[in-house]
Each structure stands twice: as structure tokens, then as C-alpha cells.
């Protein structure tokens, strides 16, 4: 089979070379990618939609900045799943290349905006926990709902602006510069900048969580030493420790899912990727969906408030299913059947 090599000049911007980025060469690879994207994407949309419903249907959670940030994370994961699955499967599985440069960069901007907002929402959640544990007496004054909504607005606008820079002109076609080996029309310098942006976000999250977990460990030791003092303060500290551990699990999953993609992106800037590595990158990209799918599971298992809300939803659903069976019509039908018998 003849290998499609990407030219090293600006002619890469022509529509005819879009096929060079379609790295899945066999039907088995396409079916595998389609199944992974379909499974992860469907589960991700369902689970994150459920998380949003649980947060905003309960007055106790929708008023807390912590859950506003988690809601932003869930919304970003929903959008990322929908846009990523549709564009990725359409391009790599069905090999649709009959769209313009602007349409492709718009799709790529949507994916980057969603994933960047997801990561940034996790950063805001880490900072929220950092303030809650490092300055508990001033937390309610520092982290108000108004400030939380303002931070979320700045977050989404910033992520959308950075993601849309290639569409606005920072691409290798307009600048006549070196194009990325992984993404059509994307300038290598822009890709380097986006990787640096993601690494800075991850670095800030790691620093915040390192402090949060250190303080959480101190709180655990304090509670074990003063078990007799069971009061509101201890309850609040237990909640902070639980949420800190939960979000540390989210961070660990995030690093495991995103590290392969970031490593291959970085390698593509400094060296030339083989066809095999480009196929590996296509499969590793689905790990981003896996990360978005796992996050809600961690919330449901670790957050007592969300888990209690989930139990109430299931209890209400079971009562709705049992209601027709216990209705007068059902009882009369049952009695008549007994008489006939």
C-alpha cells in the first residue's frame, strides 16, 4: 500500500492533501474507532447530563460555587463529546473531506474550546478547594456565587478565544508557515502555544492539589486527635477532605488520559511522526473521551450530596413505575381476574 506523505511546503493547505491526515488504513481500525467513539461519547453525554441535572435540581448544590465549577466541567465534557465524536468519526471513519478550511478549523475550535474549558473548570475547582482549606474562615466571603459565575464567564471566553485563533488567521495557510503533521491547516507555532497553555493549566492544578492534599492530611490527623469534638467544624473538614480526595482522583485520571496525546503532540513539533505513531495518536485521542466519561462516575461514587440526589431520583423513578400497578384500575382488574378464576 502506498503511503501518503505530507509535503513540506505550503501546498499542504490544499484540499487534496486532506486525505493524508486520514491515517486509518484498514476497515478494522475504522470500526474500532467508531465503536470506541460511539460508546465513550454516548456514555459521556448521558452521565454528564445526569450530573448537571443532579446539581441544578437541588437547591443545596446549585448554590455552592464548588458544584457550579463541577457543572461547568460536566457541560464542557458534553460539548466536547458531541463535537469531537461527530467531527472525528466523520473525518477518520467516513473519510469526509469535502469541506472548506474554515469549516474544519471551526470544528477544531469547538473541540479545543470544550476540552480547554473542561481542564480550566477543573483548575477553578482546585482553586476553590485551595481557598476552602487554606482560608476556611474567609471562604464564604472570598468565594461568592457572583465571583464564581464571573470566573466561569472569563474561563469560557478565554478558552473560546484561544481555540479560535487558527480560524481567525493564525494558521499555516495564511502565514505560509510550517503546518502540523497531526492537524490540517494548523500552524506548528500555534500548536506549541496551545500545548504550553495546557501544561501551565496542569501545573497550576498539580500545585493547588498538592497543597490541598497536604492540608487535608493535616485535617485528618487533627480529627483523629480530637474525635470527641464532634461538631460543625469537624463535619466541614470531613467534607473538604472527601472532596479533595475525589478531585485528586479526577486529576490522576486526567493525567493518564491526556499524557499520551500531549507527548505525541510535542514530539510532532520537534520530529517527524511515522505513519504508525499517527495511528497511535488517533486511538489515544479517544482517551480524552474516556476521561470525560470517568469523571461523573467518580462524582457519583465520592460526592455524598450528588449520590444522595441520585438515590432520590432513582427512588422517585421506582415510585413512578409502581404507581400504575397500584392504581384503582389495576386493583379492579386484579379483583376481576381473581373472581373469574
Q: Which residue has the cell 464564581?
A: 148
Give the pLDDT of residue 334: 44
- Give the three cell numbers for residue 193: 502555544
- Is the pLDDT at 112 greater than 80? The verdict is yes
Give the pLDDT of residue 326: 56
**Domains, in order of start, for the chain:** 24-308 (1.20.1070.10)
- Is the pLDDT at 65 greater than 80? The verdict is yes
Rg (CA), the chain: 25
With H, G, I as helix, E, B as strand and everything else as coil, classify residue 169.
coil
Give the pLDDT of residue 7: 44
Burial of 18: CB neighbours in 10 Å, binned 0-12, 13-18, 19+: buried
* Contact by Cβ (8 Å): 88, 41: no
CA-based end-to-end distance of the chain: 74
C-alpha 185/C-alpha 274 separation (Å) is 19
C-alpha 293/C-alpha 100 separation (Å) is 31
C-alpha 303/C-alpha 286 separation (Å) is 26
Give the pLDDT of residue 338: 38
Question: Between the ranges 37-46, 93-102, 271-280, 329-338, where is the mean pLDDT highest?
Answer: 37-46
Least confident stretch, 84-98, 207-221, 258-272, 305-319:
207-221
Helices 232-270 and 275-302: crossing angle in degrees, nearest 10, is 170
Other CB atoms closer than 10 Å to residue 170's CB: what's the count? 17
Q: Which whole number is the average pLDDT over 78-96?
A: 88
- Give the three cell numbers for residue 273: 511522526
Give the pLDDT of residue 12: 57
Identify the band that residue 156 occupies on the pLDDT scale cut at 50, 70 and 90.
Answer: very high
Give the pLDDT of residue 177: 83
- Please report, rounded to a whole number, the percentage of residues in the chain having pLDDT higher than 90: 27
- Is the pLDDT at 186 greater than 60? The verdict is yes
* Contact by Cβ (8 Å): 244, 144: no
Question: Between the ranges 136-150, 242-256, 287-301, 325-339, where is the mean pLDDT highest?
Answer: 136-150
Q: Which whole number is the average pLDDT over 77-98?
A: 87
Identify the band that residue 109 occupies on the pLDDT scale cut at 50, 70 and 90.
Answer: very high
Q: Which residues contact 255 (CB under 8 A, 6 or more apart)?
A: 202
The CA angle 295-296-297, to the nearest 5 degrees, is: 90
Identify the band that residue 271 occupies on the pLDDT scale cut at 50, 70 and 90.
Answer: confident
Helices 232-270 and 188-225: crossing angle in degrees, nearest 10, is 160
C-alpha 119/C-alpha 228 separation (Å) is 40
pLDDT digits (tens, 9 = 90+) for 7-61: 454 345 665 577 778 888 888 888 988 999 999 999 999 999 999 998 888 877 8
Amino acid at each position: 500500500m502506498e503511503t501518503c506523505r505530507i509535503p513540506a511546503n505550503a501546498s499542504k493547505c490544499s484540499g487534496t492533501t486532506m486525505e493524508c491526515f486520514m491515517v486509518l488504513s484498514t476497515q478494522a481500525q475504522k470500526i474500532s474507532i467508531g465503536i470506541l467513539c460511539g460508546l465513550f461519547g454516548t456514555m459521556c453525554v448521558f452521565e454528564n447530563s445526569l450530573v448537571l441535572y443532579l446539581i441544578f435540581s437541588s437547591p443545596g448544590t446549585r448554590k455552592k460555587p464548588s458544584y457550579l465549577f463541577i457543572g461547568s466541567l460536566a457541560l464542557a465534557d458534553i460539548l466536547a463529546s458531541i463535537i469531537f465524536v461527530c467531527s472525528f468519526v466523520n473525518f477518520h471513519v467516513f473519510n469526509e473531506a469535502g469541506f472548506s478550511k474554515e469549516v474544519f478549523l471551526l470544528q477544531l475550535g469547538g473541540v479545543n474550546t470544550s476540552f480547554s474549558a473542561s481542564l480550566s473548570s477543573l483548575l477553578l475547582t482546585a482553586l476553590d478547594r485551595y481557598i476552602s482549606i487554606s482560608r476556611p474562615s474567609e471562604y464564604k466571603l472570598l468565594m461568592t456565587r457572583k465571583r464564581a459565575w464571573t470566573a466561569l464567564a472569563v474561563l469560557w471566553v478565554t478558552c473560546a478565544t484561544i481555540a479560535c485563533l487558527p480560524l481567525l488567521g493564525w494558521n499555516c495557510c495564511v502565514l505560509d508557515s510550517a503546518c502540523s503533521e497531526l492537524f490540517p491547516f494548523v500552524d506548528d507555532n500555534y500548536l506549541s502555544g496551545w500545548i504550553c497553555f495546557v501544561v501551565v493549566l496542569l501545573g497550576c492544578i498539580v500545585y493547588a492539589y498538592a497543597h490541598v492534599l497536604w492540608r487535608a492530611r493535616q485535617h485528618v490527623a487533627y480529627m483523629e486527635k480530637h474525635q470527641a469534638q464532634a461538631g460543625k467544624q469537624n463535619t466541614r473538614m470531613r467534607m473538604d477532605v472527601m472532596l479533595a480526595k475525589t478531585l485528586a482522583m479526577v486529576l490522576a485520571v486526567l493525567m493518564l488520559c491526556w499524557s499520551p496525546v500531549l507527548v505525541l503532540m510535542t514530539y510532532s513539533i520537534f520530529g517527524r511522526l511515522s505513519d504508525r505513531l499517527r495511528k497511535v495518536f488517533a486511538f489515544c485521542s479517544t482517551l480524552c473521551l474516556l476521561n470525560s466519561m470517568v469523571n461523573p462516575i467518580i462524582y457519583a461514587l465520592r460526592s455524598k450530596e450528588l449520590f444522595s440526589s441520585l438515590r432520590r431520583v432513582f427512588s422517585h423513578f421506582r415510585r413512578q413505575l409502581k404507581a400504575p400497578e397500584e392504581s384503582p384500575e389495576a386493583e379492579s382488574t386484579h379483583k376481576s381476574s381473581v373472581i373469574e378464576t
